[in-house]
């Protein structure tokens, strides 16, 4: 991969992530995919190495790095196992980022310092059975009690890290009359009375990450655990997701890169008609198209990440990066299976896992259809 435009530090981060992915994650990726086992030990190691709080300021225990470095690490880790990638993505760009940018000093000291080091794991709780793409339709409610604390009731679903997380950022409707302007974000801790999770979902892909529903039955949340301003939860959610989409774009890029590298290697080893299939023009054209799409996705992601680092508005750019990278991941994984022929259809050769993992990147943190809407809205805005 090229190092175009990368600083020495960024290149070092990429190398460190690559070494960790190959040595610590790759050996157990296939078995964890089969068993759907959560990689607890790996997540702990990532925390110790600084991968769980990459953009968090050093004063709060983070690595103090930029978004570009984060996308580089996400790509390398997702190239080996996208399940580990999404665990890392949620903790970094959805939980830690929101806490650092919207949290009080007390909240940062209590939660962010532990999330950034991997001592705690975070989850982002926005989706509901009737509030997926339209996040304004929150049915989970938050009501003030006589002491000024909040009482949460409702259900969340498709929550990544749902059974394993310690800290949950939960969005709820606090004032139905105000619509989306009445939505708040609350910090909820694992084990609070009335807070339970459903069974772990049996998923097509990213199987060793855990996904489940969450249930809130009169869960009491201290007034000190309101994240951000009262009535500003929806804005907080959207600003957070904007960066999260860059991270998922990087996850998709990693999947595509992993599938591509597997296809290149196999094409050099597999012989047909007396020569490696890499000599066949049909295979060469497939590899050329795969390489082109991957590099275009990488440049879109790095552009959006650089804009995020510079404090620029990058709503359209983040959506373009996520949309194109996720589409590329699916297309490249399909072609990688085709290059492998029948072997591509069995687990041993791994490319079928890349396809299963790739599909979700077109769905979560904003479906491809929502990304199209977001891009078009930005283009047509007066």
Farthest-apart Cα atoms in the chain, separation: 81
Answer whether residue 2 is part of any domain.
no
The pLDDT value recorded for residue 338 is 98
> Of 121, 141, 165, which residue is a domain's last?
121
1 falls within a domain: no
Would residue 95 count as lying in a domain? yes
Same-domain check for residues 341 and 353: yes
- Residue 231 phi/psi, 5° resolution? 85, 0
Closest listed residue to residue 158, CA positions, set 188, 124, 185: 124
Residue ending a domain, choose from 102, 121, 140: 121
Number of domains in the chain: 3
Q: Which two tokens stand for residue 41?
A: 């030990």
Contact at 8 Å (CB) between 252 and 325?
Answer: yes
| pLDDT at position 267 | 98
pLDDT of residue 349: 85
Residues 256 and 353 in one domain: yes
Question: Based on the domain organization, do 53 and 160 belong to the same domain?
Answer: no
- Cα angle 6-8-9, degrees, rounded to a multiple of 5: 95
CATH number at residue 243: 1.20.140.10
pTM for the full predicted model? 0.96
Asked if 168 and 305 sit in the same domain, the reply is no
- The encoded tokens of residue 197 equal 């999770």
Question: What is the CATH number for 175?
Answer: 2.40.110.10
Domain C-terminal end among 121, 150, 177: 121
Residues of the chain under the 50 pLDDT cut:
1-2
Residues 190 and 55 in one domain: no
* pLDDT tens digits for range 323-382: 999 999 999 999 999 999 999 999 888 999 999 999 999 999 999 999 999 999 999 986
Give start and end residues of each alpha helix (H) in the chain.
8-20, 29-35, 40-49, 67-80, 82-89, 97-102, 105-107, 113-116, 233-269, 281-309, 315-340, 351-359, 368-380
Of 51, 12, 116, 70, the closest CA to residue 306 belongs to 70
**Residues recognised as catalytic:** 365
Tell me the C-alpha distance between 263 and 261, whole Å: 5
What is the residue range of 228's domain? Answer: 123-234
**Are 302 and 224 within one domain?**
no
CATH number at residue 51: 1.10.540.10
């Amino acid at each position: 991969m090229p190092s175009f435009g990368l600083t020495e530090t960024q290149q070092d981060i990429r190398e460190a992530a690559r070494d960790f992915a190959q040595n610590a994650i790759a050996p157990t990726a296939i078995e964890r995919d089969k068993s759907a086992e959560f990689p607890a030990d790996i997540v702990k190691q990532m925390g110790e190495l600084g991968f769980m709080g990459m953009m968090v300021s050093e004063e709060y225990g983070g690595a103090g790095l930029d978004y570009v470095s984060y996308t580089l690490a996400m790509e390398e880790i997702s190239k080996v196992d996208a399940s580990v990638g999404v665990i890392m993505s949620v903790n970094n760009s959805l939980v830690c980022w929101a806490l650092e940018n919207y949290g009080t000093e007390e909240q940062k000291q209590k939660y962010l310092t532990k999330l950034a080091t991997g001592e705690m794991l975070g989850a982002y709780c926005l989706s509901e059975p009737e509030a997926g793409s339209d996040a304004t339709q929150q049915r989970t409610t938050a009501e003030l009690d006589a002491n000024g604390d909040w009482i949460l009731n409702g259900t969340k679903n498709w929550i990544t890290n749902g059974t394993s997380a310690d800290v949950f950022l939960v969005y709820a409707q606090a004032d139905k009359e105000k619509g989306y302007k009445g939505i708040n974000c609350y910090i909820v801790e694992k084990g609070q009375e009335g807070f339970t999770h459903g069974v772990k979902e049996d998923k097509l892909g990213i199987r060793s990450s855990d996904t489940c529903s969450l249930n809130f039955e009169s869960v009491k949340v201290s007034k000190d655990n309101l994240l951000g301003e009262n009535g500003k939860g929806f804005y907080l959610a959207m600003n957070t997701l904007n960066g999260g989409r860059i991270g998922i774009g990087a996850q998709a890029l990693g999947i595509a890169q992993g599938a591509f590298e597997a296809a290149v290697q196999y094409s050099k080893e597999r012989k047909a008609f007396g020569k490696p299939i890499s000599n066949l023009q049909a295979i060469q054209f497939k590899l050329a198209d795969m390489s082109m799409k991957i590099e275009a996705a990488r440049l879109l992601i790095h552009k959006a990440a650089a804009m995020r680092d510079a404090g620029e508005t990058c709503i359209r750019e983040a959506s373009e990066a996520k949309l194109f990278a996720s589409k590329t991941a699916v297309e490249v994984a399909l072609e990688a299976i085709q290059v492998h022929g029948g072997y591509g259809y069995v687990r041993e050769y791994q490319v079928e896992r890349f396809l299963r993992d790739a599909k979700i990147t077109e769905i979560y943190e904003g479906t491809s259809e929502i990304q199209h809407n977001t891009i078009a809205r930005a283009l047509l805005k007066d």
